[in-house]
Structure 1
Amino acid sequence: MHAWEQIQQTIDYIEDHLSEDINIETLARTACLSPFYYQHLFSRLVRKPVAEYIKLRRMAKTADSLLQSDKKILDIALDLGFSSHEHFSRTFKNTFGLTPDEYRKNPQTLNRMTKPELLLHYTLVDEGVPLITDGIVLEVNRRVITQPIRYIGLKKDIPLHYIDGLGTESGIDPLAALWQDFHRQKSTMLRLSEYDSEIGVAYSSSKEGCFSYFAGTQSEPGDTPDSFICWELPAGEYIICSFEAESFEALVMDALYKAQHYVYNTWLPKHKLQTDAFCAERYASHSPDTTNMEIWLRNLT
């Protein structure tokens, strides 16, 4: 068994026992490692110490429970091993920047610690061959477009640490407000349906310490309304990672991070390919019915 498989066993164990007291000795035995080496290897592969990872996964679960059930906040806290309402509220606010009561009254999109699938770091598939893992199906192909595709939308500069921490950090999602603003103006100013295809693009920013993010929809050539900007998907050959998840929330909060990590850190390096300095996320739409999307990376090799 590979070392990553041993750590994955403990990740799966943690997920099944979040409501219980989980100790390092049990996890180390599950991985057939000493407690010292287990903690070292876990931190190296997951990029979080074991205790912090468990806390953040519990926080992710409680965030779901606060909106998906009408249980009292104390009961939700006790279900996931917190000793008191005060302890839970303090931990929740330190993690996400608002209290459980504030979140329940005014729900916001939250970044959360996702459950890692370590085989995505080490498993290589050929083009056109689906890879299935934990409810996610992804596939890598190539496609050539001969003409640029024009989009119209809104742009926002985001601190770089949100890219570095995607999937491992927790807090209010900084892109949610941009998408909400775009969708509001898309229906009123552009008079387009929520079901029109959309794109989200991360690229370099002129603002130090930031990247730019564009949220838009495909558009024919013409005038650009005030407050909107245009962005073009250049012609060329693209590496396209398409993927599916069980729901739109799982698609954008979990599968997107895992697909990006797989294509950037596993697939491209092992194929010795270089891509342009932007990452385009193409959606059929942001409708709750949407369960698939694509990452487009322009091949420069």
Structure 2
Amino acid sequence: MYTWEAIQEALDRIEQELPRGIKTEWLAEQVSLSPFYFQKLFKRLVHKSVQEYIKLRRLSRVIEELNQEDRTITEIAYDYHFSSPANFTRVFKETYSITPEEYRKKRPRLNTMIKPDIALTYKDLDENIPILIDDLLLEIRRETLETEETYLGFSTLVDTAKQIPMGESTGIDIPGQCWTRFHQEKSKLKTVINPDFEMGMSYGADPVKGTFHYFTGALYPMPQEISEPYVIQSLPPGNYIVCRIEAENFETLVCEGLDKAASYLLNTWLPSRSLEIEPFSAEKYNLAETEDISMELWVKLKEPTMN
């Protein structure tokens, strides 16, 4: 067994045991590693300590429970191995900056820890050949965009450090909130947009401030002068690498599929081929496509410089 396979097995066991207490030493024993090397490898591959990861995954599962109105917060706290409702509230607020009661009342989108797929890091996807990994179907291809695509919607500023998987923190899912805002306003734009085609874009990163901009909107076939709060964002012509992602349901697609595909494409696939990209990425949704639950992640290749 490769060491990464041992950690993947540990991640699988954690999912099974989330409602119960999970000791690091027990996990190490289950995958035949010493506690010392198990913790070292876990931190290197998952980028979290064992117990921090367990806490964040447990809270992710708890959020699903909070969306069920028939469960009390006290019941949920004890069901997921918190020592008391007060302890549960403290940990939840430390992680997401709101209490469980506030979450249940307002239902904001939260930036939660998903279960990583370490195996994906060690796979080399050939172009134009789909591969099934867990519950996701991925396929990478090259695409040339001949003419600019223009979209109309909203833009917001995001703190990079507070957005998993780019950062190491959790909290309110700012890009998710931007999508919520757009979908609340979308009907007001129906006379000027093509509602079947939507795009989210990360762009305008500022490494000094540790921020980037995130845009959500729909295709804007005949651009014209606009007024605030709406903004226009364009996908420029050029050569792209496109990762198509399919999932069994939309929640898995946007909550897990996008993060896993982006991490693999940006951190593994592109570097292994020495391909450089422009400083933005776009996620495109074709809502007219009814056969599959899918989306596409687009990154633009840098044009070779002329000496």
Work out whether the TM-score is over 0.5: yes
Please give the alpha-carbon distance, in whole angstroms, between the structure 2 residues aligned to 1:134 and 1:284. Answer: 23
Cα deviation, residue 284, structure 1: 2.0
Q: State the match for 1:113 in structure 2.
A: 113
Which runs of 5 or more structure 1 residues have no equivalent in the other structure? Answer: none
* SS of equivalent to 1:196: strand
Q: Distance between the aligned counterparts of 1:129 and 1:9, measured in 2?
A: 27
C-alpha distance in 1, partners of 2:133/2:12?
A: 13
Moved more, 145-154 or 42-51: 145-154
- Residue matched to 2:255: 253
Could you list the per-position Cα deviations for residues 225-259 of structure 1 after superposition, in whole angstroms to 9, with x for gaps in the alignment? Answer: 21122222111121000101232222222111100
Deviations 1:130-149 (A, max 9, x none): 22222111110111121111
Give the partner amino acid of 1:5.
E
Q: Deviations over 1:14-56 (max 9, x none)?
A: 0000111211121111221110111011011000000110011
Equivalence map 1:1-301=2 (5 Å): 1-163=1-163, 165-166=165-166, 169-191=169-191, 195-205=195-205, 208-227=209-228, 228-285=230-287, 291-300=293-302
Distance verdict in 2 for CA 1:66–1:164, change over 3 Å: closer
Look up the equivalent residue of 1:137 and give its one-letter code.
L
CA distance in structure 2 between the aligned counterparts of 1:4 and 1:21, rounded to whole angstroms: 24
CA contact (8 A) 2:56 2:112 kept: yes
User: Once structures 1 and 2 are overlaid, which stretch shifts more, 259-268 or 62-71?
Assistant: 62-71
Q: Where do 5+ consecutive residues of structure 2 fail to align?
A: none
In the superposition, the TM-score normalised over structure 2's length comes to 0.91
CA offsets 1:194-236 (integer angstroms, 9 cap, x no match): 9521111111246933211111111123313211222221111
Indicate how the Cα distance of structure 1 residues 169 and 255 shifts in structure 2: closer, same or farther if over 3 A, else same.
farther
**Code of the aligned partner of 2:252:** A
Equivalent residues of 1:248, 1:291 under 8 A apart: yes
The aligned amino acid for 1:36 is F
* Maintained 8 Å contact 2:193/2:219: no
Q: Which moved more, 1:119-128 or 1:149-158?
A: 149-158
Taking only the aligned residue pairs, the percentage that are identical comes to 39
Q: Distance in 2 between matches of 1:180 and 1:124?
A: 35
Distance 1:208 1:77 in 2: 37
Distance 2:91 2:194 in 1: 36
Deviations 1:76-96 (A, max 9, x none): 111111121111111111111
Aligned residues: 301
Following the alignment from structure 1 to structure 2, what is the Cα–Cα distance between the partners of residues 153 and 210?
Answer: 20
- Greater mean deviation of Cα atoms: 24-33 or 259-268: 24-33
Aligned equivalents of 1:20 and 1:138: distance in 2?
Answer: 33
Q: C-alpha root-mean-square deviation of aligned residues, in Å? A: 2.4
State how far apart, in whole Å, the 2-side matches of 1:226 and 1:3 are: 55
